[in-house]
């Protein structure tokens, strides 16, 4: 509308200044009509391009992580092959990206405090690193180099206070460790030691409650919380056995999780308003659909990756709709604000999309079902992490065609462990990773052609 107003004013000014015979005015009118048609076409083009549109990145690979510190400035790590990462940066809201760092495995997961200061987790030769940059990510300095601890999730509450989740792998004394630093990782302090698990993600709320930071750790499908700045952690329980795939908290009480029950492996969205003491089912769709990352921008607006769509709620999860997306399985999601956001497939290459209008129109989805399937039960592999071999258990309630497939982190199929008809019963199969490199792998179970669940396992040699 602003463009049209400016055009009309400019046209009137042109006529007044060039007051000439009628035939010239007719000629101007014809030109004006043409310009109005072009202007309308421009409006239509802008409208069409303002949905979830796939964009190209300067390097081929799968997007691993994205962070923005304001509407314009952001970074992303792109995984090209096993432990080969590129760090890319944008200064125009993600329209264009440039490679700023590529030193193999050094920068995998990162967090920037401002435009210049940032920290990252990475790997060296047979060691695990915490790094620091003071020039926007173009150069990195190793602050911690550990041969015993596997640094995993980390979170910086501010420029002074930072926390690191680590995993000490030395069976049978494996343990999950929480470290804290107050001097930019020059020194780290062990403030908490828990039972073994597979570290994943860590967040702390920037607002203090009773003088303490509250935070959350997702570790091997188990979500835990702290209310005393990481010195003690309490497991958050759910009414049915399963694992948490992803989570998002607005404050210490209000949050959502993407939950995958063991029985049937049918992913759902749950909501809590009392710090996880009780959970309410908000979304559940069916057997063949997996829900990706979830992000709540505020108490009303929520986005979540979902098959070939983006799930959206505008009323805090009471009802849901979906937005069309040009990429397949947009499992990753990041909204900078209510308009600009990004979606990506965390398991495949060159699947990255951007929106500049909140994702566009929302299409309603059928009412959720509260009926949980009970045909099959896929267990977490044990041990996990594992060295060379691990066991995978599952149960089927009726005779079915069963297929168990192993994938690497890029989505490439490694092998098919089971592909045959099996009768009702409990089963266990041993997976041998002796010929594989250390890293993250996934296994999926198909029941009569329907994917019933996917779980993550870590091979450490």
Digit-coded pLDDT (tens) for 297-309? 999 999 998 777 8
How large a percentage of the chain has pLDDT more than 70?
Answer: 79
pLDDT at residue number 368: 38
The highest-confidence range among 23-27, 248-252, 428-432, by mean pLDDT, is: 248-252
> For residue 154, what pLDDT is reported?
82
| pLDDT in the model for residue 211 | 92
More confident residue, 398 or 6: 398
Q: Compare 322 and 41 and report the one with higher pLDDT.
A: 322
Confidence of residue 358 (pLDDT cuts 50, 70, 90): very high
Is the pLDDT assigned to residue 155 strictly greater than 90?
Answer: no
Domain ranges of the chain: 2-48, 54-364, 376-459
* Count of beta carbons in the 10 Å neighbourhood of residue 1: 6
| The pLDDT value given to residue 441 | 87
Q: How many CA atoms lie within 13 A of 339 on its CB side?
A: 8
- Given a contact cutoff of 8 angstroms between Cβ atoms, the answer to whether 160 and 122 are in contact is no
Query: At which residue do the structure tokens 């702390």 appear?
Result: 204
Q: What is the pLDDT of residues 331-350, one digit of tens each?
A: 899 999 999 999 998 877 88
Closest to 283 (Cα-Cα) out of 313, 314, 310, 263: 313
Quote the DSSP letter at residue 270: E
Token reading at 83: 């432990």
Sheet containing strand 109-112, edge to edge, reads 109-112, 118-124, 127-133, 141-146
Confidence of residue 87 (pLDDT cuts 50, 70, 90): very high
The 3 state secondary structure assigned to 375-424 is: CEEECCCECCCECCEEEEEEEECCCEEEEEEEEECCCCEEEEEEEEEECC
- Confidence at 134, pLDDT banded by 50, 70, 90: very high
- Among the residue ranges 97-101, 161-165, 202-206, 321-325, the one predicted with the least confidence is 161-165
Output the DSSP codes for 210-258. TTEEEEEEEETTEEEEESSTTSS-EEPP-SSSEEEEEEEESSSS-EEEE
In this structure, whether the domain defined by 376-459 belongs to CATH 2.60.40.2550 is answered with yes
pTM of the predicted protein model: 0.69
* CB neighbourhood size of 204 (10 A): 20
Predicted local confidence at residue 117, as pLDDT: 94
Peptide linkage before 412 cis (omega within 30 of 0): no
DSSP 319-386: S-EEEEBSSS---EEEESSSS-EEEE-TTSSS-EEEESSTTS--EE-PPP--PPP-SEEEPPPBSSSB
H-helix or E-strand spanning residue 39? helix 22-48
Question: Rounded distance, CA 200 to CA 189, Å?
Answer: 20
Which has the higher per-residue pLDDT, 137 or 201?
A: 137
As a whole number, mean pLDDT of residues 111-128 equals 89
Alpha carbons within 13 angstroms on the beta-carbon side of residue 167 total: 20
CA distance 343 to 113: 23
Residue 35 has pLDDT above 50, yes or no: no
Q: Which helix (H) or strand (E) holds 29?
A: helix 22-48
If residue 68 lies in a helix (H) or strand (E), which one and from where to where?
Answer: strand 62-68
**Positive/negative CA dihedral, 366, 367, 368, 373:** negative
CA–CA separation, 133 and 128 (whole Å): 17
Question: For residues 387-426, b (16+ Cβ closer than 10 Å) or e, as one string?
Answer: eeebebebbbeeebebbbbbbbbeeeebeebbeeeeeeee
- Give me the CATH code for the 54-364 domain, please: 2.130.10.120
Q: Which of 261, 241, 238 is nearest to 371 (CA)?
A: 261
DSSP-derived 3-state class of residue 448: coil
* Mean pLDDT of the residues in the chain: 80
* pLDDT surpasses 80 at 43: no
Residue pair 116/136 in contact by the 8 Å Cβ criterion: yes
**Cα separation, 242 vs 281, whole angstroms:** 14
Lowest mean pLDDT among 33-42, 142-151, 359-368: 33-42
Residue 31 CA from chain centroid, whole number: 50
* pLDDT tops 80 at residue 385: yes
* pLDDT above 50: residue 50: no
Rounded Cα distance between 275 and 251, Å, is 9
The pLDDT value given to residue 263: 62
């Amino acid at each position: 509308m602003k463009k049209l107003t400016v055009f009309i004013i400019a046209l009137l000014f042109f006529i007044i200044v060039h007051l000439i015979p009628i035939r010239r005015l007719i000629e101007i009118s014809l030109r004006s009509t043409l310009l109005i048609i072009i202007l309308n076409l421009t409006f239509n083009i802008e409208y069409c391009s303002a949905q979830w549109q796939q964009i190209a990145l300067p390097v081929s690979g799968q997007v691993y992580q994205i962070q923005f510190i304001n509407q314009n400035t952001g970074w992303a790590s792109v995984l090209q092959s096993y432990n080969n990462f590129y760090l890319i940066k944008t200064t125009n809201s993600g329209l264009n990206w440039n490679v700023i760092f590529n030193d193999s495995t050094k920068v995998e997961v990162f967090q920037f405090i401002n435009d210049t200061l940032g920290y990252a987790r990475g790997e060296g030769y047979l060691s695990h690193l915490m790094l620091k940059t003071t020039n926007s990510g173009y150069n990195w300095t190793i602050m911690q180099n550990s041969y015993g601890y596997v640094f995993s999730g980390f979170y910086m509450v501010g420029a002074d206070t930072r926390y690191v989740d680590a995993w000490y792998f030395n069976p049978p004394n494996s343990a999950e460790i929480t470290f804290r630093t107050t001097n930019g990782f020059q020194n780290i302090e062990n403030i908490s030691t828990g039972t073994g698990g597979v570290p994943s993600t860590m967040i702390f709320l920037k607002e203090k409650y009773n003088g303490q930071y509250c935070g959350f750790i997702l570790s091997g499908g188990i979500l835990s919380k702290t209310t005393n700045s990481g010195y003690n952690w309490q497991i958050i329980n759910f009414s049915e056995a399963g694992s948490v795939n992803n989570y998002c908290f607005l404050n210490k009480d209000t949050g959502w999780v993407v939950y995958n029950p063991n029985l049937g492996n049918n992913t759902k969205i749950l909501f809590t308003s009392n710090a996880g003491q009780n959970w309410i089912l908000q979304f559940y769709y069916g057997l063949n659909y997996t829900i990706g990352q979830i992000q709540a921008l505020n108490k009303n607006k929520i986005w979540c990756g979902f098959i070939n769509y983006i799930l959206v709620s505008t009323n805090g999860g009471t009802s849901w709709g979906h937005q069309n997306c040009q990429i397949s399985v947009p499992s990753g999601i990041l909204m900078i604000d209510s308009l600009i956001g990004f979606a990506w497939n965390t398991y495949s290459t060159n699947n990255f999309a951007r929106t500049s209008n909140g994702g566009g129109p929302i299409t309603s989805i059928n009412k959720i079902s509260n009926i949980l399937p009970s045909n099959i039960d896929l267990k977490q592999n044990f041990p996990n992490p594992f060295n060379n071999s691990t066991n995978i258990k599952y149960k089927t309630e009726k005779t079915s065609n069963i297929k168990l497939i192993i994938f690497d982190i890029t989505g490439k199929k490694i092998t098919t462990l089971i592909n045959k008809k099996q009768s009702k019963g409990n089963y266990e199969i041993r997976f041998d990773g002796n010929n594989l490199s250390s890293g993250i792998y996934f296994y999926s179970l198909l029941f009569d052609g329907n994917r019933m669940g996917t779980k993550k396992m870590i091979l450490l040699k």
